[in-house]
Amino acid sequence: MKFGYETIIWGREIDDLDTVLDIIAGAGYQGVEFSQWPGRLPPIQDLLKMLEDRQLALIGFSGGTLYERIKYCGNYRPEHLIVFDWSELAEKATADGFKFALHPHLHKPKHRIEEVFDLLKKHDKLLFLPDTALLTIAGDDPVEAIQRAFQLGKGRLVGVHLKDWSPEYGHAAHRYAYGFTELGTGIIELEAVLRELQQSHFTGWMIVEQDNTRKDIPTSVSESAQWLANKGFSVVPRKASALSSPKPRIPAKRPTTFSADDEARFLKAISRASTMELNACYDQIAASFSELVPDSLVMVMMCNPINNVVSLLSLANGISTQYDEYSHAQRTANLLTDGHYAAALGKLTLEFEKTLSGVAVERQTTTSFDLTTPHPGAEYGYPSANLGYSKLCEQLGLTRMVGIPVLGISNPRHARLIVNIFSPANDRLAHQDELEYLFYLSQYAGIAADSALDEICSFAAASVNILAGPSTTTNGFLEKIRDLILELVECEAISIFLINDIDTKLELATSTTNADWRVPENEQFYAKGEGLTGQVWDRREALLTTDTNQEPGHSGKSAERVITERKACLMAPLVNSRNEVVGVVRCMNKHESRPQDLRMFTNDDVAILEAIGQAAVPHLQILLSEEWRARALGRMIHEFKTPLVAIRGAADLMDAEFEKRRTSAVEFFDHDYLEDIWAWSDIMRRLLGNADVFRYPSLEIPLQPQPTLLLKHVVAPAVNQVQILLRNRGFSQNSIRYGSFTVIPDLWIDRSQFQQVIFNLLSNAIKYCYHDAKSFQVAIVGEIEAGDFVVRFRDWGPGISREMREAIFREGIRDTNAIKDNVAGQGLGLWVVRKIVEAHGGEVLVTKLRQPTEISIYLPHSLASRPPRS
């Protein structure tokens, strides 16, 4: 294997190529692959000489349009040229001796294994150059990709981009590239890849690539080389490198076209944009360029490369001022779409590689186009590039367009935005220094756009954390998340699907419109890969589309009810910390809140959904796990109750048999064992009752309220239930006294749950009276206080310490003395008391610490007339 290095780490432009090549050679690499636009490289023969001087091989090129790269090579044939798809040009150049390597890349047309191998099988001259990190991020296995490439035949695998990645910045397009890191410091299974290649005696290129670094570049280059050397690979540093990192490129000198005031005004306006809401930010960017270049039409567009399209975000028309702002924008929009507003969306989502914008993005620099020529893209190898808005050009007399790629801050491969400036003046902005200057300024627009997006993402994540607080159920939480998405992504309808416990189905959890299913009732789910929704589960990546019906694999199995006809759709996976999909969010039809707002879903929306998902999934998993445990505990309690019911039933029949024989258990056994069975099974029932409440830690306790007399239906039965505990401890049965409760009418409460309350208080009093059995005394009285009903429970036991006054009602908290004196219990009894009382709208407090200890249960007066509010 041979090891080379990719120059992308130096950005779009290399100021000092000699130094860069020295760093690469010094670290021990044997070849170089260039990602810069050839327009920024020395002539090919000079480049080859520079490489030869350092014993470096030229591996290939990936920057600029394919046409420009072919043209740059002249008679020289590099080992390969990187392509992202097959094309007529590639076909033609192959006949001319060029070799092309298909490079699966996120946000490019072919980036999943299946698509890649379909294409490789179709074109047997096409070589393969996978990227370890990008395949992993996309959800594929790089080792599998390599194995399948070997199966295609010798020589098809031309090389591998060795790249490591850490998921800490997430998957969103504007952030994921921050995660690229030095070899061996991320999550990519590089050793498995290298092992596979070694075992297969691979002799091609291993090209170390890292789009950016937080270290200085020579250190980063050298650390990755050192990692390879430590693994026993032949990357041997040639000399101790004392080289410093090249300095960042100083922006070009301001051309005379623009004044210092223009620049100051522009930067001030862009600075304001960074603090704005996202849509306003894009409008501000359009307005700022419009002000900078008077008498122009400015479009701010977004690359949406998953679908290989660009879409319009905002426009500012400074050419004509004869209309007011509103109708002006609407008129321009109509011109853009030949007057058919309804079809606007389709018309303004232009195929990326057929637009002039595509040229500028491929070249990673500002490019000026003469619109008066019949095929302005031909010069750059884009003969089919059209503007898509010829009527606009005709009506406004536009003759020149300047395309400015606003490159991502984290990833120069990803153009965050494209700013197109149209002008009626053909000699306008045609000079290189003007274009360089605009590119320089545009990077501030990129920072502002990222900043505005990060702001909304942070807000989204913080909102999720707030929403998770008062959430009680998974469904309740998901409904809140759904509404948050509705607000932030601004669409007509949303559904959230979750994968079931055994990973077999994607089921609807919540929807804004009760998603309609066009399938039999028992098939209301998606299997993995089924339909677009199932594909998102399978592929672990967001899907953006302007029309679901046009998508391959669209099954039409279910749909949200929407207002407008079109079916623009965004689907995004919900991913957990183990990078597993736990659900899918499906959003339909982005709002058109303003006439000029010709919107489809964008990568910004994907980023917002990811931020919401990243914050929501941990909460969701806790809720799901809690509810699963509650269900499991419920089943266990149910299982316990069956034998308990049978034991009580058997005792009941035994009692009946004694009656029939005119005798009794006492007479027969000399002890009332049947009464023991009843009493102990009552205790067991109450313990199960505590467990029943315990399984609803964050849910409402289910209540069956009915008119209840506290004394008759609650206190007396509970006292009866603890008789055996009293007997067991040798306490007098008369030690529990209770008042008449005459002041309290029938109350709408759950009898059984309130028996549980009194039972827990009594059993606590009995348990904790461990110092002096004779001192055991309990009094229960009913009173009215300030209109509310109060049950006072008093005991003359050891009392409660002041610091435990509140804490004793918390889950799992036990008095320190109880632990010291080895009193049995789990610290649940009083917690259950509080849960039940609160479920009835009441409150329980310690109102006296000792002699007697008094616990007061306050119940709202409304319970006299109606059940507690659910």
Partner 1 sequence: MDTKEPVQRLVLLVDDETMPSDLYVRALERVGFKVEQRFDPDEALAFVEKEGQNIKAIILDVMMPPGSYGNKRTEDGLTTGVLLYADLQQRCPYVPIFVTTNTANHATLQQFPQGPLLRIIQKIDYPPRALIKLVQEMIDKEDANDVE
CB of 627 to partner 1, least distance (A): 13
The strand pairing partners of 848, in sequence order, are 854
3-class secondary-structure state, position 769:
coil
CB of 330 to partner 1, least distance (A): 52
CB of 475 to partner 1, least distance (A): 13
392/677 with CB nearer partner 1: 677
Q: 523-551 burial by CB neighbour count: b if 16+ within 10 A, else e?
A: eebbeeebbbbbbbbbbbbbbbbbebeeb
CB of 784 to partner 1, least distance (A): 28
563/653 with CB nearer partner 1: 653
State the residue for tokens 């350092």.
54
CB of 758 to partner 1, least distance (A): 17
Binding mask of the shown chain, residues 699 to 718, with x at each position contacting partner 1 by CB under 8 A: ---xxx--------------
CB of 556 to partner 1, least distance (A): 22
626/854 with CB nearer partner 1: 626
365/756 with CB nearer partner 1: 756
* Contacts (CB under 8 A) with partner 1, residues 496-525: 521-522
Binding mask of the shown chain, residues 30 to 59, with x at each position contacting partner 1 by CB under 8 A: ------------------------------
The strand pairing partners of 737, in sequence order, are 779
Part of the chain binding partner 1 (CB under 8 A), chosen from 26-34, 78-86, 188-196, 643-651: 643-651
Q: d(Cα 643, Cα 639) in Å, to the nearest integer?
A: 7
- The answer to whether residues 182 and 209 touch, using CB atoms and an 8 Å cutoff, is no
645 binds partner 1 (CB under 8 A): yes
CB of 328 to partner 1, least distance (A): 57
840 binds partner 1 (CB under 8 A): no
CB of 864 to partner 1, least distance (A): 21
427/507 with CB nearer partner 1: 507
* Contacts (CB under 8 A) with partner 1, residues 721-780: 752
2 binds partner 1 (CB under 8 A): no
553 binds partner 1 (CB under 8 A): no
DSSP strands (E only) in 391-512: 400-407, 415-423, 491-499, 506-511
Q: d(Cα 141, Cα 745) in Å, to the nearest integer?
A: 70
Part of the chain binding partner 1 (CB under 8 A), chosen from 38-46, 367-375, 647-655, 845-853: 647-655
Q: What's the chain's Rg over C-alpha atoms? A: 37
690 binds partner 1 (CB under 8 A): no
Record the tokens describing residue 361, joined without a space. Answer: 């993005």
When binding is defined by CB under 8 A, the residue of 111, 414, 590, 685 that contacts partner 1 is 685
Q: d(Cα 258, Cα 803) in Å, to the nearest integer?
A: 72
When binding is defined by CB under 8 A, the residue of 651, 719, 736, 758 that contacts partner 1 is 651
Give the end-to-end CA distance of the chain in Å, rounded to a whole number. 70
Q: d(Cα 863, Cα 707) in Å, to the nearest integer?
A: 9
CA 251 from chain centre, in angstroms, equals 37
Q: d(Cα 482, Cα 488) in Å, to the nearest integer?
A: 10
Q: d(Cα 620, Cα 468) in Å, to the nearest integer?
A: 9
- Return the sign of the alpha-carbon dihedral for residues 329, 335, 340, 343: negative
Record the tokens describing residue 508, joined without a space. Answer: 């609807």
CB of 523 to partner 1, least distance (A): 10
Non-local CB neighbours of 165 within 8 Å, separated by 6+ positions: 133, 136, 137, 176, 179, 180, 181, 186, 187, 188
643 binds partner 1 (CB under 8 A): yes
440/658 with CB nearer partner 1: 658
Record the tokens describing residue 671, joined without a space. Answer: 């002890």
CB of 714 to partner 1, least distance (A): 14
Residue 793 carries which side chain, given as an amino acid letter?
A: F
Q: Is the peptide bond before 294 cis (omega within 30 degrees of 0)?
A: no
CB of 677 to partner 1, least distance (A): 11
Q: Count residues contacting partner 1 (CB under 8 A)? A: 25
- The answer to whether residues 793 and 737 touch, using CB atoms and an 8 Å cutoff, is no
3-class secondary-structure state, position 271:
helix
Part of the chain binding partner 1 (CB under 8 A), chosen from 29-37, 56-64, 176-184, 653-661: 653-661
605/692 with CB nearer partner 1: 692
* Contacts (CB under 8 A) with partner 1, residues 574-613: none
DSSP strands (E only) in 386-447: 400-407, 415-423
CB of 868 to partner 1, least distance (A): 12
Part of the chain binding partner 1 (CB under 8 A), chosen from 103-111, 242-250, 356-364, 696-704: 696-704
3-class secondary-structure state, position 385:
coil
Part of the chain binding partner 1 (CB under 8 A), chosen from 150-158, 216-224, 585-593, 648-656: 648-656
Residue 625's alpha-carbon distances to 473, 508, 611, 622, 633, in angstroms, are 11, 18, 22, 5, 12
646 binds partner 1 (CB under 8 A): yes
Part of the chain binding partner 1 (CB under 8 A), chosen from 33-41, 91-99, 268-276, 649-657: 649-657
80 closest CA partner among 106, 51, 57? 57
Instruction: Kindly report the number of other CB atoms within 10 A of residue 325's CB atom.
Output: 10
Binding site for partner 1 (CB under 8 A): 521-522, 634, 638, 641-646, 648-653, 655-656, 659, 685, 692, 702-704, 752
